Structure 1
Amino acid sequence: MQIKNPGRIKVFLKNPNKKGYFKMVKEVMILWMTKRELPVYYFKHLYKKDIKNYKDYVGTKEAARIHASKNLHKREFTSILRNKLNFSLFCERNGIRTPKLIAYNFGRSFFFGKSIREIADSSDLTHFYTEVFDSTGEEAVFIRPLALNQGQGCMKLDREKFSQQLERQYENLLSGDYIHTEGLRQHQQINDIYAKSINTLRIVTTMDKGEVVIISSYLRLGAGGSFIDNVSSGGFFVGIDQEHGTLKQKGYRDMKFGGKELTEHPDTGFKFENFRIPYFDEACALVEKATKYIPNGFIGWDVAITPTGPTIIEGNEDAGLFSSDVAYGGLLKNPQMKKLMARI
């Protein structure tokens, strides 16, 4: 099932929960003066009646300052985060739990074990993955571009049907650079919410006087049959109560996909409020450990929950501030976020 894109303007105009037009104009003018920018971002979420603390949300200029800050981002650290192969090898070397690296490719050159295979045609590619599945015993292999984010270009190959899947992905695979990792098993309690994707926690960290601090967390969920949980691919997110590790009442879908607020999963009917994330404390401890090894000043960690504990999928210097902002309920009221803003 593919979720239709109704258009952001249409979503705004048809939303019965929007504030009165006079009130919206007043708030936009206040933000324009205080943030010193035309607050177009206001019309993505802040126009809703239940948003009273609209000044506590990160503006476009503030988000750009965070992303560009040399006080927060060091090239030595971001170079590890930006390249998924570098990140996987770094984590493996330092004992940071992450999906097992199986293979990778640079265009037609495929690396598996200690050998390099040059792929000439589809038959060579099928033979390569036959060997991968036979040698590793994996039921699935997850393939991600080395340098793209937001779920772009991700593929999944299943042992039972990879030949057919390769027919669709042949040109993409051989024209790009990809990392190939084990297919993870997801914790059953997370599967109960939605089982067709690996649904990851986004945990945002910063550094404060040499100490790792977690700013906020939320859970990303796939929907509509998708094996990807990214909001930009039709998924949605639900905020997490950081103290208790439980889901908040509402989930949020991007305006590009209708902008709905959800209290339960649209596919399974699973209600979010007060659901305790399994291994949440361990997930927080894992990203704190990872941040000590990669002490960039601002990172959004994507963490999967397996039956035996958390594992880090990747770290992002661009932490997806809009989703974190909405999930938290206005990041600028967060004490650690206030300190961070003062440093940039």
Structure 2
Amino acid sequence: MHFQDPGRIKVFLKDAQKKNVLRIFKEVLVLWTTKKEVPLYYFKHLYKNGIENYRDYLSPGEVRTIHGSPNLHKSEYTSILHNKLNFALYCERNAIRTPELVGHNFGGSFFADKERWQISQTGALAAYFERLFASSGSDSIFIRPLALNGGQGCFRLDRSTYKEALARTGRNIFSGDHIFTETSQQHNAIDAIYAKSINTLRILTYFDGEKAEILSSFIRIGAGGSIVDNGSSGGLFVGIDDPTGILKRTGYRDMKFGGGEFTKHPDTGFVFEGFQIPLFREACELVLKAARHIPNGFIGWDVAITPEGPTLIEGNEDPHLFMSDVTYGGLLANPGMQKVMAAVTAP
């Protein structure tokens, strides 16, 4: 929690579910002593009544240790994950299901079907995308920056309105590097929760050099009209009971966007508890296959559930662990995460 952010401070002060002041003081002191850092993260979630195992949650220092550990991460593998073009091509080569890559650009250089075009005007850009729509047969194309996370810079072009959209936003494409993929069609059961975004599963894996295993999972759900599901963009996150694939009772929203706990979606009224994620077992099998092909020690995978089966959107070597921590209920109590922490400290 950043105390220079008045919005987050206001959420904390107004939260009727917080513990009493004496208990908060005691728990902060315990964390400060045991974690060897000022536990400002306590005020993002751990201050709430009902959280008894507050010491089982990751501190920022522990998260940095995981993300920076050479025992878990190798640049040869993370380079595949970090660059979305590398990732798409690698998955295609190894028959790992992912949205079909239809084109990409490096600034004003645009590529598709083994051809290259130098484009600087929106009219020519519209002609390029007209070609992509025709060759792919897709009704929409999703555009993602090669190296940004959290849904930053992502947007969708629809066949029916892409020319108007490019007239408004085409210059943003020229100024960066992007991949263009077919937009995944969401399973109608997931659509019922919130249909304006592709609501992806975030599944954490650990690979010890021989065996890959799943640590935890949750679903990210868009809200408020957003076409992206990321918690960093105002979306909700709801824990999944492993290995059943059934949603837990409560969803959460980051304090940056007002915080709060939800038993149903604020836009659609969809009740979370008891919902069975379709094709969850197949989604787990997909990420385990991917983890064996990209044997980084620790990865957060984003998986979309489509009518044809799960598809891998991306893998993250440095996933934002706050949401996984909250939805699991304290990752340090997770046996798999205990293996991760042992690997981090191994000589």
TM range (shorter): over 0.9
Pair 1:36-2:32 in alignment:
no
Structure 1 equivalent of residue 319 of structure 2: 319
Give runs of aligned pairs for residues 88-103 of structure 1, distance below 5 A.
88-103=88-103
CA RMSD of aligned residues (A): 1.0
SS in structure 2 at match of 1:336: helix
What displacement does 1:6 show? 7.4
- Structure 1 contact 298–319 (Cα < 8 Å) conserved: no
- Structure 1 contact 6–258 (Cα < 8 Å) conserved: no
What displacement does 1:294 show? 0.2
Pair 1:120-2:116 in alignment:
no
Q: Deviations over 1:26-46 (max 9, x none)?
A: 000000000000000000000
Number of residues of Structure 1 aligned to a counterpart in Structure 2? 340
Task: Give the distance between the partners of 2:7 and 2:318, measured in 1 at CA.
Answer: 25
Give runs of aligned pairs for residues 132-211 of structure 1, distance below 5 A.
132-208=132-208, 210-211=210-211
Give runs of aligned pairs for residues 284-299 of structure 1, distance below 5 A.
284-299=284-299
Task: Give the distance between the partners of 2:109 and 2:333, measured in 1 at CA.
Answer: 49
Question: Could you state the TM-score of these two structures normalised by the residue count of structure 2?
Answer: 0.97
Task: Give identity over the alignment, percent.
Answer: 60
Q: Deviations over 1:205-258 (max 9, x none)?
A: 001351001000000000011110000111010000012110000000000001
- Structure 2 contact 7–258 (Cα < 8 Å) conserved: yes
What displacement does 1:343 show? 1.6
Aligned residue identity for 1:257: F
Aligned residue identity for 1:50: G
- Structure 2 contact 140–182 (Cα < 8 Å) conserved: yes
- Structure 2 contact 209–297 (Cα < 8 Å) conserved: no
Task: Give the distance between the partners of 1:223 and 1:6, measured in 2 at CA.
Answer: 23
Structure 2 equivalent of residue 213 of structure 1: 213
Pair 1:336-2:336 in alignment:
yes
**Uncovered stretches (5+) of structure 1, i.e. residues with no partner:** none
User: For the structure 1 residues 75 and 102, does the alpha-carbon distance in structure 2 shift closer, same or farther, using more than 3 Å as the test?
Assistant: same
Q: Deviations over 1:34-64 (max 9, x none)?
A: 0000000000000001111100000111101
What displacement does 1:297 show? 0.5
Structure 2 equivalent of residue 16 of structure 1: 16
Give runs of aligned pairs for residues 8-87 of structure 1, distance below 5 A.
8-87=8-87
Task: Give the distance between the partners of 1:108 and 1:216, measured in 2 at CA.
Answer: 41
Aligned residue identity for 2:283: A
Task: Give the distance between the partners of 1:120 and 1:22, measured in 2 at CA.
Answer: 62
SS in structure 2 at match of 1:149: coil
- Structure 2 contact 219–240 (Cα < 8 Å) conserved: yes
**Uncovered stretches (5+) of structure 2, i.e. residues with no partner:** none
Structure 1 residues 107-116 or 88-97, which shifts more?
A: 107-116
Structure 1 residues 305-314 or 118-127, which shifts more?
A: 118-127
Aligned residue identity for 2:114: K
Aligned residue identity for 1:54: Y
Q: Deviations over 1:244-292 (max 9, x none)?
A: 1100000000000011100001111000001000000000000000000
- Structure 1 contact 206–212 (Cα < 8 Å) conserved: yes
Aligned residue identity for 2:226: S
Aligned residue identity for 1:299: I
